[in-house]
Amino acid sequence: MSDDGHTIEICIYRMPDTEWTLEIMDEYDNSTVWDNTFDTDQLALEEALKAIEEGSFHTFVGQKP
């Protein structure tokens, strides 16, 4: 996703025998990882989109190194 010249990536992944993990990374490799896990990848995606909508896209853009 991009907005106002900045880019974030929603990463949803899991290891064998685990639930889904949600992470949002910005263009500078700063990341925000949720402490809780999700039963499905769809639930993780819905949480990410909700967080971006409620907290603002730029909440997930960190400092340039």
Q: Print pLDDT tens along the chain (65 aa).
A: 888 888 999 999 999 999 999 999 999 999 999 999 999 999 999 999 999 998 878 888 888 88
Whole-number pLDDT of residue 12:
98
Give SS3 for 40: coil
CB 57 within 8 A of CB 8: yes
Predicted pLDDT of residue 46 = 98
Distance of CA 25 to the CA centre of its chain: 6
Report the pLDDT value the prediction gives residue 5, as an integer from 0 to 100.
Answer: 86
Scan for tokens 């340039």, then name that residue. Answer: 64
Neighbours of 30 (CB within 10 A): 15
Q: Could you tell me the two tokens for 54? A: 């409620």
